A and B are shown apart, each in its own frame.
Chain A
Amino acid sequence: MTSQPTDAALVAAARSGQDAAFARIVDRYQAPIRAFLRRLCPWEGDADDMAQEAFLTAWTQLRGLRDPGRLKPWLFAIAWRKAKGQARSMARTRQRDHDWQDMRPEADDPQPDKAIALGQALAQLSPEQRAAVSLCLGEGWTHAEAAGVLDMPLGTVKSHVLRGRARLADILGVDDEHA
């Protein structure tokens, strides 16, 4: 049985210039980071591009990471800042991309119905609500962890999750007893 290196070990190796270690960090966190950004951004291509940018920023700022054991929330915080920063520019290109999507004969990567429904429902929430709901419901983070990543007060995150959850349940037609 091979033991997986810890985040701290991978960060130390990546800091010493080992690209293979950074590639393992990418492998380890690409799925949750991309899922988080896809929920914030309706276009998968934009979200994945932002995820690549987030990992590039992480590589550039890796020496600034104080606690290598907290790599995951640090990566999510970078992704959230990217999403906030690029939201405006992406809004300008959204219509163009939408037109292009309509022109495609068939989707390259057909999504399951649930994913499409979720995407459409999330689009009706504010970016902050989407981020809070994605972290707490999608990734299973606690409100406190999400507050740290999103740089918001704990009460605000709780409010975003509560309202976002109720809205999602309403739009998706789900009987939500957890709300």
Chain B
Amino acid sequence: MNTPDPLAGFFAADTPPAMDRVFRTAVMERVARRRFQIELALRCVATLCLLAGLALVAPVLQRLAGLLGRDLSEVLVILALSGGIAFIGHAWLTRAASFEWPRLRLF
């Protein structure tokens, strides 16, 4: 017959509770913080890449704008005015009793 391990009692007395909500909350807070840091870093990198891309194509865009600007300027003005009128009309037709500014959400 196997005798019980005399050291096992010492180890059993040293075990934390099987369920610890405080510990779990602390871990999940750290996870949320880490996720925020990762997302922030990724968005910063994406923004830098976008800026770098725009800087690379800027000369080409400037040249295109110079070539097409005169011909397209009247069309662009008409499009902008139409868009503005459509936006205001939509806002007027779907107006609510109380106005709510759109919420600014980063993520």
Taking beta carbons and an 8 Å cutoff, which residues of A are in contact with B? 19, 22-23, 26-27, 30-32, 34-35, 38-39, 48, 51-53, 55-56, 59-60, 111-112, 114-115, 117-119, 121, 134, 137-138, 165, 168-169, 172, 174-178
Contact = CB atoms under 8 A, between A and B. Distances in A.
15 contacts: A19-B31, A23-B24, A26-B28, A30-B23, A30-B27, A38-B14, A52-B23, A56-B30, A56-B34, A118-B10, A121-B10, A137-B8, A169-B6, A172-B10, A178-B7
A114 B31 contact: no
A22 B31 contact: yes
A30 B18 CA distance: 8
B20 interface: yes
A84 B9 CA distance: 27
Given A23-B28, A56-B34, A176 B7 contact: yes
A165 B6 CA distance: 11
A48 B31 CA distance: 15
B98 interface: no
A118 B27 contact: no
B31 A115 contact: no
Contacts of B15: 31-32, 35
Contacts of B31: 19, 22, 55-56, 59
B102 interface: no
Contacts of B27: 23, 26, 30, 52, 55-56
Interface of B: 3, 5-11, 13-20, 23-24, 26-28, 30-32, 34
Contacts of A59: 31, 34
Given A111-B13, A119-B14, A174-B10, 16 more contacts: A27-B24, A30-B24, A32-B15, A35-B15, A38-B14, A51-B23, A56-B30, A56-B31, A59-B34, A114-B13, A115-B13, A115-B14, A137-B8, A138-B11, A175-B6, A176-B7
Contacts of A117: 10
Given A56-B34, A119-B14, A137 B23 contact: no
Contacts of B10: 114-115, 117-118, 121, 168, 172, 174
A30 B16 contact: yes
B7 A174 contact: yes
B14 A114 contact: yes
A83 B23 CA distance: 18
Contacts of A172: 7, 10
